[in-house]
Amino acid sequence: MHLFPMLGVVGVFDNSLFSAMHGSLVTSSLIRETTENESANEGYRFSQEEETYNI
């Protein structure tokens, strides 16, 4: 097999791994545990300027 097709295959697998890790990090930073007395939507105000999550 030549160099360029091998680099293409490696690039596809590398990008899929990066996408999976990035999605996992974003999801885990957006989702947090709530208690029985707390709404899942608490802490967010419509059209707020500052973000409610951190990475």
Q: Where are the domains of the chain?
A: 3-43
Residues of the chain with pLDDT under 50: none
Whole-number pLDDT of residue 10: 92
For residues 48 and 21, give the distance between their C-alpha atoms in angstroms, rounded to a whole number. Answer: 28
Instruction: Return the closest-CA partner of residue 30 out of 13, 5, 55, 12.
Output: 55
Whole-number pLDDT of residue 9: 92
CA distances from 45 to 13, 41, 48, 50, 51 (A): 39, 9, 6, 10, 10
CA distances from 1 to 7, 19, 23, 45 (A): 10, 27, 33, 56
Tell me the pTM.
0.41
